[in-house]
Amino acid sequence: MEQKERYVDVRDTRLFVVERGTGFPLVVLHGGPGLDHHEFADYLDPLTDHYRLVLVDQRAQGRSDEAPPETWTIKQMAADVNALGDALGYGPYAVLGHSYGGFVALQHAVDFTGEPAGTIVSCGLPSARFLDGVTDALAAFEPVELRQQVAASWEAEEGVETPEDVKKLLDDQMPFHFADPRDPRISDYAARTSQMEPAPDVLRHFATRAYGGIEVEAALPTVAHPVLVLAGRHDRAIPVEGAHAIADGIPGSELMIFEHSAHVPFAEEQDRYLEVVRDFLDRVRR
């Protein structure tokens, strides 16, 4: 598989990009905030038989250059996607954003409607109001010892200082993000994403600001290109109701619920996830 790494200017900073494969480009936006492109490990790599994965370390994260904290916003990161598309000169491209990256992808779809050939919002939300239920989900989370572990890690996000701090929090939270909190694939996921270079400053920044405060619900009807919405039925962090709101709001959009997944369907139901994404991309590129 062909792979290339490079830095790309997006006006006021540079983003680190890893390109895998050749063909129609799919710009891939990681979650967090404060993570990097290693979040996806090699789970999406089977798509490289026909598609070019453009795995992006978003603004001030991963190996991307530093940028002023006042620019660490969902809206600016959505503008970065557009600038990246222009700079790479690909022509038509699609965007896939997961979790926080899904917020950015959806903001990009609203602010630059018609610019991407298609947008895939994976475990994303149209409004921060949908995060209100996370506290209740955590209060009901079993087993109790893991509930305490997850709760403590979330409380610690506002004080993270080092990349190792972030990795520890991510490890502690992963049982909450799998449908089965004791899924043996959790350790496999940790091993496959071990090269991640988290950005503690970015996580700390967003942890005190409602994780970016996504708010595009009223603008969804203006989106004028194909959109695929993906969600895990058992997602405790990003409730499935948010996915329904996106699909209901965007004319002609498609919704796929992964019945055996929580927040990591690309790992929990990898084959089905790839099948759905591939089908959408096949239609978009035509």
Query: Measured between alpha carbons, how far is 218 from 281 in angstroms, rounded to an integer?
Result: 27
Query: What is the reported pLDDT for 209?
Result: 83
Query: Measured between alpha carbons, how far is 208 from 224 in angstroms, rounded to an integer?
Result: 33
Query: What is the reported pLDDT for 2?
Result: 80
Whether the CB-CB separation of 239 and 133 falls below 8 Å is answered with yes
Q: Which two tokens stand for residue 90?
A: 């690909």
Reference 95, options 264, 185, 226; nearest CA is 226
Whether the CB-CB separation of 55 and 40 falls below 8 Å is answered with yes
Query: What is the reported pLDDT for 25?
Result: 97
Query: What is the reported pLDDT for 102?
Result: 98
Reference 201, options 30, 38, 67, 41; nearest CA is 67
Reference 203, options 250, 139, 251, 159; nearest CA is 159
Q: Which regions in the chain score pLDDT beneath 50?
A: none
Query: What is the reported pLDDT for 97?
Result: 98
Q: Which two tokens stand for residue 53?
A: 């994965």
Query: Measured between alpha carbons, how far is 203 from 190 in angstroms, rounded to an integer?
Result: 19
- How do the residues of the chain divide into helix, strand and coil, expressed in percent and rounded to 5? 50, 15, 35
Query: What is the reported pLDDT for 210?
Result: 81
Which residues, 6+ apart, have CB-to-CB distance to 262 below 8 Å? Answer: 176, 177, 178, 179, 232, 233, 234, 235, 236, 237, 268
Query: What is the reported pLDDT for 1?
Result: 75
